[in-house]
Structure 1
Amino acid sequence: MEMLIWIGAVVSLAGLGGIIWCILAIAKAKRAGLDDAGLRARLQRVVAINLGALFVSVIGLMMVVVGVLLG
């Protein structure tokens, strides 16, 4: 079960990396000085990626918990 813990940690860190990327992408979009429609379109795309990254992070944390409980 130790392998499940390490794999879950890597998956969780990948999700965290995606969330950090989303934060940086939104900050860059705000600094770009886009009009309202352009900013809204970019934010909609980033929100979809953010939800996917959050899902990956949660799956990784669940793998770690299962590995700890079974180990």
Structure 2
Amino acid sequence: MEWLIWIGTGLTLIGLSLLAYCIFAAIFAKRAGRPEAELRVKLQRIVVINMGALLLSALGLMSVVIGIFLT
């Protein structure tokens, strides 16, 4: 089940990189000085990506743990 560990590691790394993207995108959006309505729309889109990244990271970590238990 070594392949499950590697797949889980890949999913986790993709999720973590998306989380880093969300952090930087939110910082840049706030610094841009946009009107509040436009900023709210941008941040709502970032929150959706953030939730997906958290789900992807959690699934990856679960895959790693299951792969370790089965090895």
TM range (shorter): over 0.9
Return the TM-score normalized by structure 1. Answer: 0.96
1-side partners of 2:41 and 2:9: how far apart?
33
Aligned to 2:44: 44
Q: Percent identity?
A: 54
Structure 2 unaligned segments of length 5 or more: list them: none
Instruction: Please report how far the alpha carbon of residue 3 of structure 1 lies from its aligned counterpart in structure 2 after TM superposition.
Output: 1.2
Aligned to 2:7: 7
Structure 1 unaligned segments of length 5 or more: list them: none
Q: Once superposed, which parts of structure 1, at least 4 consecutive aligned residues long, lie more than 2 Å away? A: none
Return the TM-score normalized by structure 2. Answer: 0.96
- Are residues 1:65 and 2:65 paired? yes
Aligned residues: 71
